[in-house]
Amino acid sequence: MKIAIFSDVHANIEALEVFVNSTYGRVDMYICLGDIIGYGPDPSKAISIVKSLCSDEFAIRGNHERGILNPSNLKKFNSLAAEALIWTMNNLYPSDIEYLASLSDVIEFEDFLFVHGSPRSNDEYIVSYKSALENIELIKKKNKKICFFGHTHIAVIWKKEGGFIPKVDEEIELDPNEYYLINPGSIGQPRDGIPLGGYAIFDDQKYSIVFKRFEYDIDKVYKKIVERGIPEYLGRRLFYGV
C-alpha cells in the first residue's frame, strides 16, 4: 500500500491543490500530521480538502489546531502566529471547528506511529541528535518501528546513527530491523530555504519511502495574505522557504 504522508499545510490551498493533483489516484491512502490551518489565507478550504482526503481517523491535531480549540494556548505562539490564528478563528465555520476537535494527537497503525511534534510531546521540535535519539528509544518501548512526525517543516530521516536530508525522488529502502523518525516536510510552509512544498510517499509492502517537492503559485498566496489582513511577513517568507 502506498501512503501519502503530509504535514503543515497551514491554510495554503495553492500548495495543497498541487499536492492533491500530483498524488490522487497514485496512492492508496493519505495521512496528515497536523497544522492544516494557521499562517495562511484559506483555512476553511484547506480543512475541506484535507477532510476529503483523510477521515478524522487519519489526520492529527497540530499545535495550530490546538490554538484554535483552546485560545489559552495562544500565549505559546509568537505574535505573528497568534495574530494569524485569531484571524483564522474568525474565518472558520462551526463544522470546521467540529472537524478539528474530532482529530486525535496520535495515530497508531501497525508498526507505525504518527504524531505532530514528537512521540513524547505534541510541541517538541525534533531538530537535534539528542532529541532524536531519546525519541527513538521511546518508540522502541512502544514497539513501533517508524514514527512519522511534522512540526519542524523540514524533511529528514533520523535513526540511531544520526540524521540525514533525503534526496528528492530517490526511493529509500528502509531496514525493517531499524528504528526511524521521519519528517515528510511541509506542504504549505517549507523552512529549509527551498520554496517548494514537500511530502513523502511510504510503501509499506516494499518498506521504502520517496520524498517529493513541488512548485506552486506563491504570488497568489502572498496576495491573498496581504488582501485579507494577515501579517504580510507570513506571505513574504514563502518566497524564501523560511
Q: What is the mean pLDDT of the chain?
A: 96
What is the spatial distance between Cα 100 and Cα 37, in angstroms, rounded to a whole number?
Answer: 10
Residue 194 neighbours by CB under 8 Å, 6+ apart: 213, 241
User: Could you tell me the sign of the dihedral formed by the alpha carbons of 183, 189, 190, 195, in that order?
Assistant: positive
pTM score > 0.85 for this model?
yes
Domains of the chain and CATH, by start: 2-239 (3.60.21.10)
The per-residue pLDDT for range 123-154, each reduced to its tens digit, is: 999 999 999 999 999 999 999 999 999 999 99
Confidence of residue 184 (pLDDT cuts 50, 70, 90): very high
Residue 66 neighbours by CB under 8 Å, 6+ apart: 73, 122
